[in-house]
Amino acid sequence: MSCAATRSTSPSGCAACSPTPRTHSTSTSAQGRCPTQRADTSGDGIVNTTEGHPFYGHIGTSLTTNGDTSPASGLAVDRFPTPDGNSYKYRRSITVTPDVANNIRNGKAVLVVHGIDPNRSGVYDGSAPSDLDPSLPLEATSPAACGPFRTWQGGDLGLGLGLDLGIDLGLGLGRR
């Protein structure tokens, strides 16, 4: 199965000058939905990746700009899209695993965009370490936006997907 994504986004609160905003897709466990602010169990005002995990689950596909797209690339921050200002476009054809494709079809997949700027400095200044890898700043790995995939029958493609993040995203999933 092949997945082609085109992304045009400007989520608020993301570090505009940062080299590491990242996107990952199609979680393969948990509830397959997005967390609310109530998931912030530490009370620090940020839903970090660990706190969001029970909602969206494991990475199924890492939407990198080149190379590997497996979950192993989830922290390959140097290969995720980088913004021009506070928006970026993503377009790449990838092959997803059967588990990921099934989770999309069954409504158990979400797209999570990572990269926040809580102190509005415009950069990831590393004031706190990431809960996933202390060599990375919390800002680079914390979720900024999340949205579920919605499926519909789509002509020759077989399956169309929509994603509602409050930002523009089109994603088509077809068979190769």
Q: Which residues pair with 114 in a beta bridge?
A: 22, 143
Per-residue pLDDT tens for 102-132?
888 787 888 888 888 887 777 777 778 999 9
Break the chain into its structural domains and give their ranges: 2-174
pLDDT at position 153: 58
The three-class DSSP label of residue 7 is strand
pLDDT at position 116: 84
Per-residue pLDDT tens for 2-16?
444 433 344 444 455
* Segment among 20-34, 60-74, 81-95, 148-162 with least mean pLDDT: 148-162
**CA-CA distance, 150 to 108, in Å (whole number)?**
10
Q: Which of 172, 175, 159 is nearest to 7 (CA)?
A: 172
